[in-house]
Structure 1
Amino acid sequence: MQRLEIDEIDLPDVNNQLAVVEYITDLYNFYKQQQHVRRPMDYMEKQAEINVRLRATAIKWTIAAHFKLGLSRETLYLAVYIIDRYLTLVYVDDFMEVLCFQHTEESIIRMEKAILNKLEWYLTVPTAFMFLVRFVKAAKANKKLENMIYFYGELGLMEYTLIRYCPCMVAAAAVYAANCTLRKSSLWTDTLQRHTSYSESDVL
């Protein structure tokens, strides 16, 4: 039986209390379970005023606004989750009007309340970003690889077809795609398989 070569990726953080190393495995096991709860579902067929292209435009604008405002990546992924989850639950007949981006502060607050109420204020969800953070570490990524992984992660936000896959799988695929792009000698390691729970064939 071949011996697995799994790196102890949390060893450098063992003295960092903020890294909660003693709980990190349980935490990510919990994330993997919870990622299936209240996931956005395929909603495009029931949305007459929305298509894949319009959604991509909205997400592209969201990404641009995120960078302009200097927000965290976690906020970006949560924003896209909220958009998709809301559109899963509600029929929207004025999406083109929304994309005009001409809104008053009052209308924005009113819409924000409507969205939060429809989502029942359930916003604590494992997004692909949470898994990307962990998998970047498991990939032992240098800055170039890390940036490429996050690039593919953000590219995936605009790709509607990825809604059918769980966030953990999307994050794992971003790591694999980045390794392929940078022509890494090892595209998928035992360490990545351990922490993602996917084999190389799973992410192909």
Structure 2
Amino acid sequence: MFDRNNVQPSRSTLAGGIEILEENADQEVENVLYRGTQKGMKRLEKRQRRVALGDVTSQKANKIHNAIHNKFHLTRNYFDKENIHSPAIQKEQKNTGDDERNCLLVDSSDDSFTDEEQGDEYDIDDLLSRRIKDQQLQTSEVYEDSDGEMQEASEEDVENAVEPLSPINNDEIQNELDKAFEKYFQSVPNPLDDDTNDVVMVVEYASDIFYYLRELEVKYRPNPYYMQNQIELTWPFRRTMIDWLVQLHFRFQLLPETLYLTINIVDRFLSKKTVTLNRFQLVGVSALFIAAKFEEINCPTLDDLVYMLENTYSRDDIIKAEQYMIDTLEFEIGWPGPMPFLRRISKADDYDFEPRTLAKYLLETTIVEPRLVAAAPSWLAAGAYFLSKIILGSNDWSLKHVFYSGYTSSQIVPLASLILENCKNASRRHHSVWKKYFDQKHYRCSQIVEEWILSTET
């Protein structure tokens, strides 16, 4: 049973930082959550108890939007070609009933954004056309300002225009994969293999099981460009919420599978619906609640979650959000996550404990990286394991590793480089993950990686 006495509640939420964002748009939103979850400071601002779920046309929402987005972000069509439409407004939601309207995260009844102070009104089509027109200015890191001078794009502009990373494929890679398959595939279980006599490993069906998991990771892949369709959210906001979810996940002592499924549910939901900033944290905690029910034997109760949120949202809020999110995802939450693939790859080294443990830390750092939102979990597991072997002094990626991972070294190197890049400033890029794995319980994996990076740079 979760012990409330040993846990400090979250003293602030994303919504609690709204006023700060209005006054200073350049301030990192991480401070809003960190000051509450880590230092137990008082709530930054007293928020309205019942905020309208769909209030994207309110004056406050427009102030946030204008403060954060000095230039409109890039706009892309949905990754799913069946969903090519103006994502900022879901017109089919207009005639929803009262019960469903209460759990909508965006109100679609108004097709304009109005600032009462300025008296300006922007039609949705005009808004999107201006964002598309601005795309040419933001695709490079240098753009021309209103005075005709060349200015360097801000870090936020570049980050919001990220391109997803994916493994390369060519004939040479396919030949290496075929060679690994021919050498190590066994239609009949090897009696000398320890796994053969272990009923839990079900070696007779292992290949079929992982083939099916590879199908699921493609089926439940989120739209890598969904942030371009969000009006108020940005990648830094996502990173902040995930950082908070990692803390919540750690305090409840949940399984790694639960965390990865939580992030997948959030990303897939945001791929289909537009969410306001003041409901973003509700999406995160509801996704955690769904994932815990799916993965855990004993999951946190509603009272536990409400307590951790310091009653910012009620039991009713979480239940309605959970119902709406599940319905939006059509009850499809069987995303496999990277952990089964990580265990599978470690078989190539006879389930060596050290590289697999270090890979868990490297793998968890990927959840905050925008370029890896839609990356296959099997590829992420391979990249984390590949890098962990290098850090531990083994540069060997044999055909056996290729067979059990499904990826060659040439496919993994770009991913491993990105993971390593993010680990160079770990305490800033993914603070909660870094702190979590700095603990002795996790064998100080983050410290090992830090020391290795320093040794290679000197």
Fold match, TM over 0.5?
yes
CA distance in 2, matches of 1:18, 1:107: 40
Matched, 1:99 2:320: no
Task: Provide the residue aligned with 2:149 in structure 1.
Answer: none
Q: Name the amino acid aligned to 2:265.
A: I
CA distance in 2, matches of 1:141, 1:20: 16
CA contact (8 A) 2:362 2:384 kept: yes
Deviations 1:91-142 (A, max 9, x none): 002x344438421111111111111110011011222222122123334453
CA distance in 2, matches of 1:91, 1:119: 14
Task: Provide the residue aligned with 1:184 in structure 2.
Answer: 394
Compute the displacement of 1:199 (Å).
0.9
Task: Provide the residue aligned with 2:402 in structure 1.
Answer: 193
Which region of structure 1 is more displaced relative to structure 2, 119-128 or 135-144? 135-144
DSSP-derived class of the 1:54 partner: helix
Matched, 1:23 2:205: yes
Question: Over the residues paired in the alignment, what is the CA RMSD in angstroms?
Answer: 2.5
DSSP-derived class of the 2:333 partner: coil
DSSP-derived class of the 1:148 partner: helix
Which residues of 2 match residues 106-185 of structure 1 at below 5 A? 106-185=316-395
Structure 1 residue runs of 5 or longer lacking an equivalent are: none
Structure 2 residue runs of 5 or longer lacking an equivalent are: 1-178, 283-308, 414-458
Compute the displacement of 1:144 (Å).
2.5
Compute the displacement of 1:145 (Å).
1.6
CA distance in 2, matches of 1:7, 1:178: 25
Compute the displacement of 1:146 (Å).
1.6
DSSP-derived class of the 1:22 partner: coil
CA distance in 1, matches of 2:231, 2:392: 40
CA distance in 1, matches of 2:278, 2:344: 37
Matched, 1:76 2:259: yes
Matched, 1:67 2:250: yes
Higher relative helix content? 1
Q: Name the amino acid aligned to 2:242.
A: I
Compute the displacement of 1:6 (Å).
5.2
Q: Name the amino acid aligned to 2:408.
A: S
CA distance in 1, matches of 2:339, 2:392: 21
CA distance in 2, matches of 1:170, 1:113: 30
User: Relative contact order (C-alpha < 8 Å, sep 6+): which is higher?
Assistant: 1
> In structure 2, do the counterparts of structure 1 residues 127 and 23 end up closer, same or farther at CA, with 3 Å as the change threshold?
same
TM-score (norm: length of structure 2): 0.41
Compute the displacement of 1:159 (Å).
1.0
> In structure 2, do the counterparts of structure 1 residues 114 and 86 end up closer, same or farther at CA, with 3 Å as the change threshold?
same
CA contact (8 A) 1:86 1:118 kept: yes
CA distance in 1, matches of 2:209, 2:352: 25
Which aligned segments of 4 or more residues in structure 1 are displaced greater than 6 angstroms? 7-10
Deviations 1:13-49 (A, max 9, x none): 2122121111011110111122111310121101121
CA distance in 2, matches of 1:64, 1:185: 33
CA distance in 2, matches of 1:103, 1:137: 44
Query: How many residues align structurally?
Result: 201
Equivalent of residue 203 in structure 1, options 412, 417, 433: 412
CA distance in 1, matches of 2:394, 2:314: 49
CA distance in 1, matches of 2:349, 2:245: 28
